[in-house]
Structure 1
Amino acid sequence: MEGASITFSFFLIFSGAAVFASVALYTRQPLIIAYIALGACIGPYGLSLVPDLKLLSDIGHIGIIFLLFLLGLDMQPRALFATLRNATVVMVISSTLFLLAGYALALPFLPTRLDALVVGAAMMFSSTIIGIKLLPTTVLHHRHTGELMVGMLLLQDLLAIVVLMLLMGGDGGGSAAALSLLSLPLLGAGAWVAVRFVLLPLIARFDRFHEYIFLVAIGWCLGVAEVAQLLGLSEEIGAFIAGVTIATSPIAQYIAGSLRPLRDFFLILFFFSVGARFDLGQLDRILLPALLLSALVLALKPVTYRYLLGGMSESRSLAWDLGFRLGQASEFSLLIAYIAFDRALISQDASLLIQATTILTLLASSYIVVLNYPTPIAISDRLRRD
């Protein structure tokens, strides 16, 4: 993609996003839906005004990396470990149930058991972006609800790494996944040492120069993300560790505030690419199973989380709140669909089924949360919180 085409693509995406967002706000719709709809309209399967999505999709992925970095900036390490312990049992039981339910529903509609198994695996995860983006900042950073959601999403991210390693690693996928997870504490320890003896002294010396702090923060986030990928972990996990290791610094909140507009810039590209990569012309082939699977996910996940969290002595209102906020498929589900199909492990119908279910549940879940629970982008003034 040449420079001129990148500029033109950015013009179309952000000008179009402004138009679609205006319509969404006038009609009281969540903004995320506007970005996905824009991708479907002007992407390669719509008007084809933005035909090449590879670079834009990669750029949009940076938004997820920054999202996890900002999340880490507000998580104290001691509180994080306590939260992970509490969330482990819920994650294991719920993921097993979602895997089996997705497999059982998809099996009659797909040619092989492996197709159905991958579909079931893709349904185990909830969207980090939807969960965190729609949670009020004060709840996310300072309350038990936010801590519990973060713990569950992080454990799901680790499980997603295992699934992706198995898909990409062939016969050696299990051992590769195990080695990757063993490298997690090594990455955390190395990042802590670098922050303690290099990063914080530099920040303390030059904290008067705001541009310098901004550059150091971006370099640290992306650097640890790249190291994590080299170790077989995900870039998202690396970015989160980068944030946690400097969360105790007084400069953490300044970094978080300065990076939020940059995060939103890249997340718009991410949601645009989600809508643009789905071939609407093929939807009729998997429409019925996609609707059934979407209904299953939207109904089963909130109920499952409600009773599992209730069993941990969490309040009923908190359990329902988290259940609906986590009641969708994930951006990891899309990645599983792309990788498994590219490696000829699943059929095109299975890949399309995962993509369609993920998009449908992202859309429906956004509506449910925005219309019924406090969010930063709520349509009602009564529910708008930040």
Structure 2
Amino acid sequence: MFLRHRQHLRSSLPQTAYYSDRLPFDEKKVVVSGGIIAQFMEGQLATLFTGVVVVFLIAVLLLIILYRVRIPSVVAFLIAGFLAGPSGLGLITNEESISFFAELGVIFLLFTIGLEFSVSRIIKSRRYVLVGGLVQVVSTIIVWTALMHITGMDFLHAFFWGMLISLSSTAIVMKVLADRMEVDSPHGRATLGILIFQDLIVIPMVMITPVLAGTTDTDISLAKLLIGSFVIIAVVYIASKYVVPALLLHAARLKNREMFLFIVIGTCLIVAYITSEFGLSMALGAFLAGIIISESEYSTHAMSSILPFRDLFTSFFFISIGMIFNFQFFMQNPLVIAELVLLVVGVKYATGTLASLLAGLPPRACVMTGISLAQVGEFSFVLATTGASLGFLAQDSFQLFLDVSIVTMGIAPLLMGLSGKIAVPLSTPLHRIVPDRNHAQETIEPGSEDHIIIVGYGLNGRNVARSADIAGVPYRIIEMNPDTVRDEKAKGKPIMFGDAAQGEVLKKAGIAKARVLVIVVNDPFGTQQIVQTARMLNPAIHIIVRTRYMGEVSTLMELGADEVIPEEFETAVEIFTRILYTYLIPTSEIEHLVSEIRAGGYQMLRSVNTPSYSFDNLRVLVPDVEIRTIRINDDSPYAGKLLKDTMIRSEYQVSIVAIRRDQQMIISPGGEEQLISGDLVMVLGSPDNIISAFSF
């Protein structure tokens, strides 16, 4: 049908605006030098401000509406851009200014991704970056090239389309994963590794496009590719090792926040400019700049400084994408666009699933990775713009690509939201094809009863295992990261590779004889599946689940969990416990209160009308009383004296309630106790009296 519609597309396009001149990634439209000054000189600042206000009002309204139905904010921004743009209500007819902010949004987004993923972390994720990324990109290009060639498209154009479709949206996928707290989940790590490879492969893709178009000499283009790659690698290495750390150290010593911020942003923009001079994307340069700073000890502070800019400008990116959606073209060609959207989603789901499977993930995580990658990315717009500017991508193909891409980006958050629910049925065929990869590769013979099964070997899982070692309690670990399994297996840990949501994996870990199941994974839907499966296999097992948010507690309890520990409330409980200790609340009463909070499912913290609680609070009853610790030094007048001879109690109304001497604690010392230099004494009294008693 795509072939039948090609002639219709050409006949319909003269009635439709050509949108390549409004594409937010046309770097000719976003050159910083002179752009803003020209707007001032032409009196367009008011128009720019009005447009921004209109877009923000529409976006805020949509965010409020869509939040109530749990639709991701990315969709709200896309719709806001469409409504405000030329194809919508026509409130903004010149969106070049917003396109400038959109380009900044992509730059800052990729910059923060680079900050989070240093070279060492990329090397650690090399299985996903190299194996997963290479398989996903190559397989997508091969499949799409074959499909387009079958429809009658010549090989070079079909190959170029394959490159366009092979890239996914880092901006959308990372935002959805971050919002759902799934960045550190198995499918989140695999998805991000593949996206990093895609972002890097854009370099050769952009450089070979003129070769495909026949507008440049092949030898010259390859030479430019090699020279450009060498220069960029050299800049990244020198800057990360010598230049940027020295500048950031200087700013940190001066404690100048403005200087630090400008160095961070300057590094981002300078490296982006260097890459653009070699004909590459500025966003790719920003990603490399983030890697440069990530190698220093200031990456965390840099991230906190740049975060507000990223969130603001990233919203402009999504809005500008909505603006270039040509609704008239869409209505004239709905069938061919719908066909291509389904084809893009299907092909990219299949290649993403295959790539993550070969990278070592279990089937369910592979399915979720494939769904996460099933859209066209923002770097594809960069590549498409390059092809259009060279005349290699025809006008009808360019507009068709834009509409198909934007639709796939719009439905991506919705598909990712459903991925957890549909991953289990979709992964069932994969379990039949690759059963050994899922649960038979690393089999553990339980060998004992009443053991603990720990699902997830991150920080919490390691702490549980360490505590079990100390207590002498046997345990088994189930982990989905093959590298972790290999490393810990070499250390002698009882660990196996597999997806605990599958019953066979739990059986291999001895679920029938286990006493406790501890689930500490960053996968909300996977956690629910594990609880449900474990309860079916062993109705008597005690299931403890760590979750991120309070909203997940009731669902997990209904599925069969015995205890659900939400991180956000447990953190609050621990902080408040420390606060109560500083107010000298008796330990027994603090423990009683904490028990009541947990026993009531944290309802005491969630309720608006929280009942009051009475303490025997020493500071409330006697507000001027404090307990302090004082060191007895050699020059202290009390050193060498008996307590009864110091006259501290009679003269200053200060009592010494305990003395710590070496490793010994003397509680309620008598008058015959001698104070020795080096003693640490705990005194009780008013702050003023304590100061008077020990000021000499």
Tell me if both proteins adopt one fold, taking TM over 0.5 as the criterion.
Answer: yes
The equivalent residue for 1:186 is 231
Q: In the superposition, relative to structure 1, how do residues 196 and 121 fare at CA in structure 2: closer, same or farther (>3 Å)?
A: closer
1:198 pairs with 2:240: no
The equivalent residue for 2:101 is 59
The C-alpha deviation readout for 1:93-121, integer Å capped at 9, x for no partner, is: 33233234434555677876665443333
How far apart are 1:139 and its partner, in Å? 5.2
In 2, the alpha carbon distance for the partners of 1:111 and 1:185 equals 35
The equivalent residue for 1:235 is 282
User: Among residues 355, 368, 371, which one is paired with 2:402 in the alignment?
Assistant: 355
The equivalent residue for 1:6 is 48
The C-alpha deviation readout for 1:265-302, integer Å capped at 9, x for no partner, is: 11111111111112211113432222112112222222
**278-287 or 29-38, which deviates more:** 278-287
1:280 pairs with 2:327: yes
Please give the residue correspondences for 1:346-385 in structure 2 after superposition, counting only pairs within 5 Å. 346-373=393-420, 381-382=551-552
In 2, the alpha carbon distance for the partners of 1:385 and 1:360 equals 36
The equivalent residue for 2:69 is 27
In 1, the alpha carbon distance for the partners of 2:79 and 2:321 equals 9
In 1, the alpha carbon distance for the partners of 2:71 and 2:282 equals 31
Q: In the superposition, relative to structure 1, how do residues 318 and 185 fare at CA in structure 2: closer, same or farther (>3 Å)?
A: farther
* Matched residue type, 2:56: F
How far apart are 1:84 and its partner, in Å? 4.0
**76-85 or 278-287, which deviates more:** 76-85
The equivalent residue for 1:216 is 263
The equivalent residue for 2:217 is 172
The equivalent residue for 2:34 is none
The equivalent residue for 2:91 is 49
Contact 1:183–1:231 (Cα < 8 Å) also in 2 = yes
How far apart are 1:381 and its partner, in Å? 4.6
Q: In the superposition, relative to structure 1, how do residues 51 and 15 fare at CA in structure 2: closer, same or farther (>3 Å)?
A: same
Return the TM-score normalized by structure 1. 0.87
Contact 2:275–2:284 (Cα < 8 Å) also in 1 = yes
* Matched residue type, 1:341: A
The C-alpha deviation readout for 1:2-45, integer Å capped at 9, x for no partner, is: 11111111111112211111121123211111111111111112
The equivalent residue for 2:202 is 160
How far apart are 1:351 and its partner, in Å? 1.2
The SS at the match of 1:35 is: helix
Q: In the superposition, relative to structure 1, how do residues 92 and 203 fare at CA in structure 2: closer, same or farther (>3 Å)?
A: closer
In 2, the alpha carbon distance for the partners of 1:15 and 1:244 equals 35
**77-86 or 211-220, which deviates more:** 77-86
1:298 pairs with 2:311: no
The equivalent residue for 1:37 is 79
Compare relative contact order (CA 8 Å, sep 6+) and give the higher one, 1 or 2: 1
The SS at the match of 1:46 is: coil
User: Among residues 93, 117, 130, which one is paired with 2:172 in the alignment?
Assistant: 130
Q: In the superposition, relative to structure 1, how do residues 115 and 188 fare at CA in structure 2: closer, same or farther (>3 Å)?
A: closer
The equivalent residue for 1:74 is 116
In 1, the alpha carbon distance for the partners of 2:375 and 2:219 equals 27
In 1, the alpha carbon distance for the partners of 2:347 and 2:153 equals 25
In 2, the alpha carbon distance for the partners of 1:79 and 1:144 equals 15
Please give the residue correspondences for 1:89-128 in structure 2 after superposition, counting only pairs within 5 Å. 89-106=131-148, 116-128=158-170
* Matched residue type, 2:239: A
The C-alpha deviation readout for 1:51-92, integer Å capped at 9, x for no partner, is: 112232132011111111111112232231353465334333
The SS at the match of 1:171 is: coil
Q: In the superposition, relative to structure 1, how do residues 76 and 161 fare at CA in structure 2: closer, same or farther (>3 Å)?
A: closer
User: Among residues 368, 378, 387, which one is paired with 1:331 in the alignment?
Assistant: 378
Q: In the superposition, relative to structure 1, how do residues 127 and 227 fare at CA in structure 2: closer, same or farther (>3 Å)?
A: same
Contact 2:344–2:374 (Cα < 8 Å) also in 1 = yes
In 2, the alpha carbon distance for the partners of 1:73 and 1:29 equals 28
In 1, the alpha carbon distance for the partners of 2:161 and 2:52 equals 33
In 2, the alpha carbon distance for the partners of 1:224 and 1:214 equals 16
In 1, the alpha carbon distance for the partners of 2:295 and 2:223 equals 30
The C-alpha deviation readout for 1:289-335, integer Å capped at 9, x for no partner, is: 22112112222222322233223322223322222111111112233
In 2, the alpha carbon distance for the partners of 1:161 and 1:34 equals 31
Return the TM-score normalized by structure 2. 0.50
**156-165 or 36-45, which deviates more:** 156-165
Contact 2:341–2:404 (Cα < 8 Å) also in 1 = yes
Aligned length: 382
Q: In the superposition, relative to structure 1, how do residues 64 and 76 fare at CA in structure 2: closer, same or farther (>3 Å)?
A: same
Contact 2:348–2:374 (Cα < 8 Å) also in 1 = yes
The equivalent residue for 2:626 is none
Q: CA RMSD in A?
A: 3.1
Contact 1:286–1:349 (Cα < 8 Å) also in 2 = no
Contact 1:162–1:177 (Cα < 8 Å) also in 2 = no
How far apart are 1:143 and its partner, in Å? 6.4
Q: In the superposition, relative to structure 1, how do residues 194 and 52 fare at CA in structure 2: closer, same or farther (>3 Å)?
A: same
Contact 1:80–1:147 (Cα < 8 Å) also in 2 = no
Q: Determine which structure has the larger helix proportion and give its number.
A: 1
Q: In the superposition, relative to structure 1, how do residues 174 and 12 fare at CA in structure 2: closer, same or farther (>3 Å)?
A: farther
The SS at the match of 1:134 is: helix
The equivalent residue for 2:336 is 289
The equivalent residue for 2:315 is 268
Q: In the superposition, relative to structure 1, how do residues 347 and 184 fare at CA in structure 2: closer, same or farther (>3 Å)?
A: closer
Contact 2:59–2:76 (Cα < 8 Å) also in 1 = yes
* Matched residue type, 1:192: Y
In 1, the alpha carbon distance for the partners of 2:317 and 2:355 equals 32
**55-64 or 163-172, which deviates more:** 163-172
Contact 1:119–1:350 (Cα < 8 Å) also in 2 = no
Contact 2:132–2:358 (Cα < 8 Å) also in 1 = no
* Matched residue type, 1:235: M
How far apart are 1:127 and its partner, in Å? 0.8
Q: In the superposition, relative to structure 1, how do residues 144 and 231 fare at CA in structure 2: closer, same or farther (>3 Å)?
A: farther
Contact 1:184–1:233 (Cα < 8 Å) also in 2 = no
Q: In the superposition, relative to structure 1, how do residues 347 and 196 fare at CA in structure 2: closer, same or farther (>3 Å)?
A: closer
Please give the residue correspondences for 1:132-151 in structure 2 after superposition, counting only pairs within 5 Å. 132-136=174-178, 140=183, 145-151=187-193
The SS at the match of 1:356 is: helix
Q: In the superposition, relative to structure 1, how do residues 161 and 186 fare at CA in structure 2: closer, same or farther (>3 Å)?
A: closer
In structure 1, the gaps of 5 or more residues are none
* Matched residue type, 2:379: F
The equivalent residue for 2:438 is none
In 1, the alpha carbon distance for the partners of 2:143 and 2:54 equals 40
Q: Determine which structure has the larger strand proportion and give its number.
A: 2
Q: Which has the larger radius of gyration?
A: 2
How far apart are 1:224 and its partner, in Å? 0.9
